[in-house]
Amino acid sequence: MAEEFFGEEILADIRGQSVMTPSPKLNILRTTWGCKLTAASFPQREDLPSKIAAEYVNETCFASYARPHLEFRERSLLNIAMLIALNRSNELRLHIRAALYNGLSREQICEACRHAMVYCGVPAGRTALLVASNVFTELDAKKPS
């Protein structure tokens, strides 16, 4: 029952098998992105710039996910729209994966990219669709046949 609700990655984190140091905001990050994507996105490096960047992201950026009134799924959709507008393809790639984890369908993600063409310009929307296509292809390649 718990596996169906939380998923194996979250349960592994709850059981203390996580690869990263727990913190309340990091737990929100893991809940919205899953442990594997979190660990891959924020590798444990010991150099000072990496530590400062990870601390800022963990403690500041993901604090907003704990706020009421918007579900993780809705926040993911907003993130995709903002990253398209800012032309941030690397971050968009991560947030598309997170959006899938949070329950957005591929069709919804593609529709958000298409809709962004109206407000952000066709090049921005097309780039976003290419990023989404690459993410989907990567994920499909990892699926067992």
pLDDT band at 11 (very low <50, low <70, confident <90, very high): very low
Contacts of 9 (CB under 8 A, 6+ apart): 30, 34, 35, 36
pLDDT(43) > 60: no
Domains present along the chain, CATH in parentheses: 1-67 (no CATH), 69-145 (1.20.1290.10)
Report the 10 Å Cβ neighbour count for 129.
18
Q: Tens digits of per-residue pLDDT, 54-102?
A: 778 777 777 777 788 999 899 999 999 999 999 999 999 999 999 999 9
